[in-house]
Amino acid sequence: MWSIIRSLWLVLLHMFWPRFTVQYPDQKPYLAPRYRGRIILSRDPDGEERCVACYLCAVACPVDCISLQATEDPHGRRYPEWFRINFSRCIFCGLCEEACPTYAIQLTPDIELGEYNRQNLVYEKENLLIGGTGKYPGYNFWRVAGVQIEDKDKGQSEREAPPADLRTLLP
Amino acid sequence: MNPTLLKIVVILVILLVVLNVSALLIWLERRLLALWQDRYGPNRVGPFGLLQVVADMIKIFFKEDWIPPFADKWVFVFAPAIIMITVLLTFAVIPFTPLFQITETNIALLFFLGMSSLGVYSIVLAAWASNNKYSLLGGMRAASQMLSYEVFMGLSMMGTVMLAGSFSLRRIVEAQQHIWFVIPQFLGFVLFLIAGIAETRRLPFDLPEAESELVAGFHSEYSGMKFGMFFVGEYLGVVLISALISVLFFGGWLGPVLPPVVWIVLKTLFFICFFILLRAAMPRPRFDQLMSWGWKWLLPLSLANLAITGAVVLARGR
């Protein structure tokens, strides 16, 4: 009996406690920089697309919301012809970001994706590409990967030794 | 003014006020519960979220009004009406002020007891007609809970009846000119409060509904405005019990300075808020605990209260 009266009194006193509610549209909640929100495609420091259309994000995606078509530019660089993310399916798990070898696909702290039309949630490449580098400012995949492209031969990447001359290895 | 016309005006005013208040209680309850749980509650629609009720009503009217194919159709449709009818009829005998009372009768309390017993039919019939095991369990609980709590509800009021010497609610209020009956009848007040909570099926005695065990208990199968009628009926019951508590034990419209209407509204509102506080703070007992508590403690206590009050009244030679 005493405990009932006590708990009634204690609950009544909660009237004077501060509210925990974040009044969302008026008062934005803090979203950490690494929050997993809207997905973007970033560019490297030279302003080129980072995505090399390797399909790893599409494979890693547990709900199959990413689809793309790879193609090659005249310099031999792969890039996506089109890139499509269906945000009505996306579960913002971040596996695409973890799978990406070039830091191209990134999740951003933006959660305001509400739409009146479901079709508007399908984002095409021009909706996804941003102008900057996102979370990894200095990184340029083509400068550090030992892949041969037209304006860079093997062994010319940063922190990469020239390839061994096979003939000198002969016994 | 023509007395018949005056009566009709009084009836319409009481009906409108009571229905609107019980609709507003939905908002009040959500705001107060939020207040006691460190939240804000609905505060977006209109000033202080007051129009939330309107939004809820619009929503509930546009919901699909579905009758399950396995249900007993006519009983299913009629059941929610019973609770509204019985509770609204009971308001006829409540003396809000000397002027605002629809009918003055010398059996007002018996009328209230009869109507609240009839109200149980609403729940049991709804549960039975739903043809659903969870509904049936809820209805079964409701039947036994109401049965056992109504017994001492009647007995707990008899103390005030003895002191006032009448079943008429107006006479009971007038007998409290010098002292509110809550002081000589404190035990009766506590017992009536407990029985009243059980009668309106509010937490901690909402076992017929028990949403954590029985989906939604007796109204699991109800949707749309039929569910809304159970919902509003529950709030009407809260208003009724609060008004009755203030009439029986807290001197009804009597009070200094302020006009009678303000006093009865303030007292009723206080007990409505207390009902909501109970909901915010209390866990739900197990069903066997509820039953054994009712029969083993509350019934003997109310009998003892009755006997002692009777002895005192006799000894004072009234």
**Chain B residues with CB-CB distance to A17 below 8 A:** 38
Q: What is the pLDDT of residue A40?
A: 92
Q: How confident is the model at residue B1 (pLDDT cuts 50, 70, 90)?
A: low
pTM value > 0.90: no
Q: What is the pLDDT of residue B147?
A: 83
Q: By the 8 A CB rule, do B120 and B142 touch?
A: yes
- For residues B79 and B124, what is the distance between their CA atoms, to the nearest angstrom? 8
Domain A34-135 has CATH 3.30.70.3270: yes
Q: By the 8 A CB rule, do B280 and A11 touch?
A: yes
**Chain A residues with CB-CB distance to B293 below 8 A:** none
**Chain B residues with CB-CB distance to A7 below 8 A:** 281-282
Count other C-beta atoms under 10 Å from residue B106's C-beta.
12
Q: Which of B31, B32, B36 to mutate: most A Cβ within 10 Å?
A: B36
**CB proximity under 8 Å: B 20-39 to A:** 35-39
HSE toward the beta carbon, residue A153, CA cutoff 13 A? 3
- pLDDT tens track for A89-111: 999 999 999 999 888 999 999 88
Q: What is the ipTM of this complex?
A: 0.74
Strands A39-41 and A122-123, sheet pairing: unpaired
Whether residue B318 has pLDDT greater than 60: no
DSSP string for chain A:
-HHHHHHHHHHHHGGGSPP----TTTSPPP--TT---SEEE-B-TTS-B------HHHHH-TT--EEEEEEE-TTS-EEEEEEEEETTT-----HHHHH-TTS-EEE-S------SSGGGGEE-HHHHB-SS-TT-TT--HHHHS---BTTB-TT-STT-PPPPPGGGG--
- pLDDT tens track for B225-276: 888 888 888 888 888 899 889 888 888 788 787 888 888 888 888 999 998 8
Q: How confident is the model at residue A85 (pLDDT cuts 50, 70, 90)?
A: very high
- For residues A17 and A35, what is the distance between their CA atoms, to the nearest angstrom? 30
Q: Which amino acid is at B197?
A: I
Q: Which residue has the tokens 């609770």?
A: B83
Whether residue A56 has pLDDT greater than 80: yes
Q: Which of A11, A13, A24, A26 to mutate: most B Cβ within 10 Å?
A: A11
Partner residue opposite B36 with nearest CB, options A11, A18, A20: A11
Q: By the 8 A CB rule, do A125 and A84 touch?
A: yes
- pLDDT tens track for B17-44: 888 888 888 888 888 888 888 888 888 8
Question: Does B45 contact chain A (CB < 8 Å)?
Answer: no
- pLDDT tens track for B52-67: 888 888 888 888 888 8
The residues, any chain, with a CB within 8 Å of residue B183's CB and separated by 6 or more, are none
Residue of A nearest to B44 (CA): A23
- Which DSSP letter does residue B46 get? S
Q: State how far residue A37 is from chain B, nearest Cα, in angstroms.
A: 26
Q: What is the pLDDT of residue A89?
A: 92
Delimit the domains of chain B by residue range: 66-317
